[in-house]
């Protein structure tokens, strides 16, 4: 498990799901699938994604 939450350079769209997957030691595809399924439920999923996109820093080189 990584100790820092960062958005990696090798990412899809914004890298939020990939960063969360790395941080918690699970596959980024699992996080993406959970997000995609959560979109089917009512709630602020896209707003949370955008906020995380803004708050999570990019991975340093």
Give the pLDDT confidence score for residue 36 in this predicted structure: 93
- Read off the pLDDT of residues 2-16 as tens digits, 9 standing for 90 and up: 578 999 888 888 999
pLDDT given for residue 31 in this prediction: 94
How many whole angstroms separate alpha carbon 19 and alpha carbon 55? 12
Which pLDDT tens digit goes with each residue over 15-40? 999 999 999 999 999 999 999 999 99
pTM of the model: 0.84
pLDDT of residue 61: 77
DSSP one-letter string for 1-46: --SS--B-SS-STTSHHHHHHHHHTS-HHHHHHHHHHHTTSSS-HH
């Amino acid at each position: 498990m990584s100790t820092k939450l960062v958005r990696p350079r090798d990412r899809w769209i914004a890298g939020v799901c990939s960063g969360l997957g790395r941080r918690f030691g699970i596959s980024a595809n699992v996080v993406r699938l959970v997000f995609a399924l959560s979109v089917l439920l009512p709630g602020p999923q896209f707003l949370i994604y955008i906020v995380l996109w803004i708050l999570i820093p990019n991975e340093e080189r």
